[in-house]
Amino acid sequence: MTATILKAPQQASRQDPIPAAEPRHIAVHPLTGHIGAEIEGPDLRQPLDPAVVEEIRAALLKWRVVFFRDQPLTHGQHVAFASAFGQPTLGHAVYGFVEGHPQVYSVARDRLAARHTGELLVRPWTGWHTDVTAAINPPAASILRGVDIPPYGGDTLWTNLAEAYNGLSETLRGFVDTLRGVHYFSPPEGQDPTEDFIKKNTSRPLVSEHPLVRVLPENGDRVLFVSPSFLKRITGLKPRENQQLLELLFEHITRPEYTVRFRWHPGSIAFWDNRATAHLAPRDIFSLDFDRQLYRITLRGDVPVGVDGRPSTAIKGDPIEAYSPEQAH
């Protein structure tokens, strides 16, 4: 079964795009010039009509992240909604799942949890990432649901990596088109790995080399596939070249014009194309005395393919497969 799940309603080439039909079953309200749209209409607790699923897919492909409000889903309804768009994976390939709900991953900030000790190295792009790019086939999409939300703070930002690619000079686009880079998990900069980090990353090591520019099969869009938390090394560069080029690209993708910022409420849903975005939880939440509880489901992804047609390669670890019951043991 193919894992290409975010297919457009029509095939289109990069040179000659065919505009998608206007949605007839949902209302799509764009939030910025380049990324993010709120979708109004469907009740996500109910099975969705295939026409509604297609229109949500088209909006997701265009706006890269879509939001829904007032959708108080149970874990089971969350899984059912996600399953209309692809194959849910185990909650998290490395960091586990919610007891009794193996496709669901808890994204929690507990005000009583131990805070980081020592001084972190915080750079403008610190915390920005694309989910699980250490895997050879990072999730195609992630669907995050808000349950317990602070009265203020704790927002999430996304950035459009296709628009960021388009914003580079033609000369630099031509260069990054040829590059590949190595992605893996690491502790926050300035922190030693915790015992838990070492244990989980030893039992499920994931290291992958991806093209710096991946091409989306549905529309030929080129995406600057750089994930600041995971991408450590551009293949073939000297250390200082690597450091400076990564910093240039990381700084570029976090420019505000490529981003959208989302204010959570209980029952809010964010559904993003994980192939074409990076996201960030701003650090203000760590200074607030509030909990935040979100739940995430990720959909199985394809192996990225570069401009030259070369797919990513696994250096360590197996692909992330669709969830099956034996994975939860």
- Which member of 129, 204, 252, 292 is catalytic? 129
Q: Which range in 111-119, 124-132, 218-226, 285-293 contacts Fe ion by CB under 5 A?
A: 124-132
Q: Does 221 bind Fe ion (CB under 5 A)?
A: no
Nearer Cβ to Fe ion, position 141 or 245?
141
Nearer Cβ to Fe ion, position 131 or 209?
131
Token code pair at residue 239: 């250390």
The CB-of-47 to Fe ion minimum distance in angstroms stands at: 28
The CB-of-298 to Fe ion minimum distance in angstroms stands at: 9
The CB-of-254 to Fe ion minimum distance in angstroms stands at: 15
Give the closest residue to 136 by CA, choosing from 218, 207, 212.
207
Nearer Cβ to Fe ion, position 63 or 230?
230
Among 55, 131, 163, 273, binds Fe ion (CB under 5 A): 131
The CB-of-208 to Fe ion minimum distance in angstroms stands at: 17
3-class DSSP string for the chain: CCCCCCCCCCCCCCCCCCCCCCCCCCEEEECCCCCCEEEECCCCCCCCCHHHHHHHHHHHHHHCEEEECCCCCCHHHHHHHHHCCCCEECCECCCECECCECCCEEEEECCCCCCCCCCCCCCCCCCCECCCCCCCCCCCEEEEEEEECCCCCCCEEEEEHHHHHHCCCHHHHHHHCCCEEEEECCCCCCCCCCHHHHHHHHHCCCEEEEECEEECCCCCCEEECCCCCCEEEECCCCHHHHHHHHHHHHHHHCCHHHEEEECCCCCCEEEEECCCEEEECCHHHHHCCCCEEEEEEEECCCCCEECCCCECEEEECCCCCECCHHHHC
Q: Which range in 123-131, 170-178, 217-225, 264-272 contacts Fe ion by CB under 5 A?
A: 123-131
The CB-of-143 to Fe ion minimum distance in angstroms stands at: 12
- Which member of 279, 292, 300, 302 is catalytic? 279
The CB-of-279 to Fe ion minimum distance in angstroms stands at: 6
Q: Closest-CB residue for Fe ion?
A: 131
Please count the residues of this chain forming the interface with Fe ion, following the rule CB under 5 A: 1
- Which member of 34, 92, 109, 131 is catalytic? 131
User: CB-based burial of residue 56 (10 Å sphere; 0-12 exposed, 13-18 middle, 19+ buried)?
Assistant: buried
- Which member of 145, 204, 296, 300 is catalytic? 296
Nearer Cβ to Fe ion, position 263 or 310?
263
296 catalytically annotated: yes
Q: Which range in 50-58, 127-135, 188-196, 257-265 contacts Fe ion by CB under 5 A?
A: 127-135
Across the strands, what pairs with 214?
A: 223, 306
Nearer Cβ to Fe ion, position 178 or 186?
186
Cα separation, 68 vs 15, in Å, equals: 32
The CB-of-282 to Fe ion minimum distance in angstroms stands at: 13
Nearer Cβ to Fe ion, position 164 or 294?
294
In order of 27, 132, 212, 328, the CA distances from 278 in angstroms are: 25, 11, 13, 28
131 catalytically annotated: yes
Nearer Cβ to Fe ion, position 131 or 273?
131
- Strand 180-184 vs strand 207-211: parallel, antiparallel, or unpaired? antiparallel
Q: Under the rule (CB under 5 A), what is the footprint of Fe ion? A: 131
- For the annotated catalytic residues, the residue numbers are 129, 131, 279, 296
